[in-house]
Amino acid sequence: MIGIDWGTTSFRAFRLDDQGAIVDRRAAPRGILAIEGARFEEELLRQVGDWIADGETRVLMAGMIGSRQGWQEAPYVRCPAGAADIAAGAIPVPFAGAALRILPGLTVTDAAGVPDVLRGEETQIVGALAAMAEVAVACLPGSHSKWAEVEGGRITGFATYLSGEAFAALRGHTILGRTMREGPNDTAAFDRGLARAADPGHLLHHLFGVRALALFGALGEAEGASYLSGLLIGHEVRAACAGDGASVHLIGAETLCGLYARAIAARGAQAVVHGEEAAARGLFRLSAEVNWQ
């Protein structure tokens, strides 16, 4: 089968054998925002047409490809939801080359009536389920970081944090960015930001401190962005993670997971890093529950 994680900014495809082992993979910066004129079928064939020509008959997709801006909308499934619930929400998409299904995202509503959503992360969480305890917490860092609670193999709830996008906006479009220079992550500065997040005071106040520290020469131009990153991730982790020594299952890109693992350790919890293959495992696991008829 072919499993695809097709998000806002990237396209990742896995060719999986009958046991779910990855026999081939493709990745391209061809997220749905990059596809002009909604030519998703054309793009799919360009990326993995050779696998289909070679005999693959099932294509399962997850992520923003199932959003209103994607190929076809797969309505959100409500939490709590396990693999069977997610698979039942898959929608068939007309496609000449193979049976094609798009998985749904999940939604949850908090006590105040405010909704939350995710798309693609449900599949990655399903892919990491086998490594999780009966009750577990998963964190999927990114522009919109997701923190999900898992119980008995079902995603019971989750919350999104805008940390990644807020970082980019604050760095690129406020006075804070004026004293920041491009460069590699500075671990010491990141840790200072993490420590600052644990101080009394609201994030909106801590943010101005980035400016004031720079003004007095107490935060260098090569340190500023890492400090800001540590500050935001620190605030997110402190808010989302109880820090009672429990494990947090981190799923995502290696570098970002490394930063979150540091923040989780500083919080007094410990990170179990899953890596990006969780998506492939989730797609394989869900394909067994999807109605392919």
State the nearest-atom distance from the C-beta of 257 to a second copy, in Å. 18
Q: Which is nearer to a second copy, 102 or 106 (CB)?
A: 106
Alpha-carbon span 271 to 240, nearest angstrom: 13
Interface stretch with a second copy, choices 53-61, 131-139, 169-177, 249-257 (CB under 8 A): 169-177
Q: Within positions 109 to 128, which residues make up the interface with a second copy, using CB under 8 A?
A: 110-112, 114-117
Non-local (6+) Cβ contacts of 77 within 8 A are 85, 86, 88, 89, 104, 105, 106, 107, 122
| 225 vs 171: CA distance, rounded Å | 7
Alpha carbon distance 252, 278 (integer Å): 8
Given candidates 38, 53, 57, 172, which one binds a second copy under the rule CB under 8 A? 172
Q: Which two tokens stand for residue 156?
A: 């019971």
Please tell me what DSSP assigns to residue 36. Answer: G
The dihedral built from the CA positions of residue 274, 258, 15 and 17, taken in this order, carries a sign that is negative
Q: Compare residues 134 and 182 and give the one whose CB is closer to a second copy.
A: 182
In the bound state with a second copy, the residue whose beta carbon lies nearer, of 3 and 142, is 142
Alpha carbon distances (Å) from 163 to 44, 144, 240, 250, 281: 31, 7, 12, 16, 27
Report the residue number, 91 or 117, with the smaller CB distance to a second copy.
Answer: 117
| Least distance (Å) between residue 196 CB and a second copy | 7
> Does residue 194 bind a second copy (CB under 8 A)?
no
Site for a second copy in 207-226 (CB under 8 A): 207-209, 211-213, 215-216, 218
* Residue from 159, 222, 256, 265 in contact with a second copy (CB under 8 A): 159
Strands (E), 17-119: 22-28, 58-62, 77-78, 91-92, 99-102, 106-109, 115-118
Within 229-288, the residues that bind a second copy by CB under 8 A are 232, 235-236, 239-240
Number of residues that bind a second copy (CB under 8 A): 45
Minimum distance of a second copy from residue 261's CB (angstroms) = 19
Identity at 253, one-letter amino acid code? A
Q: Cα separation of 49 and 59, whole Å?
A: 11
Between 174 and 289, name the residue whose CB sits nearer to a second copy. Answer: 174
Nearer to a second copy, 144 or 285 (CB): 144
> Alpha carbon 22 to chain centroid distance?
20
The residue ranges that bind a second copy (CB under 8 A) are 110-112, 114-117, 144, 159-163, 165-166, 168-170, 172-176, 196, 199-205, 207-209, 211-213, 215-216, 218, 232, 235-236, 239-240
